[in-house]
Copies of this chain bind each other. A is one copy, B any other.
Amino acid sequence: MNEQILVSPADLMGDGVFETLHLRPSGPWLLDQHLDRLARSAALLGLPPPPPVTPPAGQTGVMRIIYTRNLFHVGVTPIPEQVLRERRDGIRVLSAGLGVSAGRQPPWSLSTAKTLSYGTNFAARRWAARHRADDVIWTAIEGQVLEAPTASVVWLAGDELGTVPWEEAGILPGITAAHLLSLAPSVGLRPVQRMITLPELAAADTIWLTSSVRGLAEVVTLDGVNRKRSPWTARFLRLLGF
C-alpha cells in the first residue's frame, strides 16, 4: 500500500469499518453481500449508511473499502504472494483460546462488525508466525470454535459442509463461507451451521479457512498434527471461481 490519503487524527483510532473484496476481471466478487455487511457494521458503530461505491474499472486484485466518521476510501492493491501460496498449498494452523465467552458479549459488542480495530487480529497472526504457523483458529472460554483473525472456519464431515453460526458465536458473518455453503447442495453436500468444539473440528475430514481474497485455504496441519489432503479443495476453488 504505497497510496497516501489525507485523514484527521481521529480516523486513526479504529472507530470505523471496512471490507476487503476480490476484484476480478468481471468486477468485485460478491459486491452486494460486502456492501450489505459494510452497512451492517456501520450501523453497529452508529455511523450513517455508507455512500454508494463505484467499483474501480480495469483493475484486479484486492479492493478495500474504508469508512470512518470523516472518511470514505476505496483502494486497490495487488494480491500478496503469500495469499496465493496459501490458497494453493494450504496453511498450518494453531488453535488458541481468545479469553472471551461466546454467550456473554457486552451490549455494545462489535464482535459481529468488521471494524478498523484490527490490532488483536494482527497480533494473533504475528503470534502464529512466531510459532511457525500461518494462522490461528480462535476458541471461546467454553471450548467452542469461533473464527480465525481474518477468515471463517469451514469443515467437511461426511456429507456435512459446516460453518459456525455467526450470531450465536458472536463472530463476523463470513461472506465466502455463506456463499460456499449455498452451493453445497449443487455438489451433493448438506450445508450446516452449528457450534462445534475443537476436538470435533479436528475429527472432521477437512478444515478450511475461507475469506474473500484467499478464497479457500485448506488446513494442512492443526496444532502440529498433519491432516490428510482433500480432493474437495481444488473442486471448491473452481466452484468459487478461483
Which residues on A are within 8 Å of B, measured CB to CB? 1-16, 18, 44-46, 64, 66, 68, 71, 73, 75, 96-101, 104-110, 115-120, 122-124, 126-127, 138, 141
A87 CB to nearest B CB, Å: 22
B101–A124 touching, CB < 8 Å: no
B99–A13 touching, CB < 8 Å: no
Give the one of A2, A4, A10, A14 with max B CB within 10 A.
A14
User: Beyond A13-B116, A44-B123: 20 further Cβ-contacts under 8 Å?
Assistant: A3-B9, A4-B6, A4-B8, A5-B9, A9-B66, A12-B12, A12-B16, A13-B18, A13-B119, A13-B122, A45-B123, A96-B107, A96-B108, A99-B101, A99-B105, A100-B101, A101-B141, A108-B123, A117-B117, A117-B119
* CB nearest to A4 among chain B residues: B6
A75 CB to nearest B CB, Å: 5
A120–B105 touching, CB < 8 Å: no
A119–B127 touching, CB < 8 Å: no
A127–B107 touching, CB < 8 Å: yes
Contact A110 B120, CB 8 Å, known A6-B6, A9-B3, A126-B46: yes
* CB nearest to A13 among chain B residues: B118
Contact A8 B12, CB 8 Å, known A99-B101, A107-B127: no
A79 CB to nearest B CB, Å: 15
A232 CB to nearest B CB, Å: 31
Query: Which B residues are CB-close (under 8 A) to A44?
Result: 123
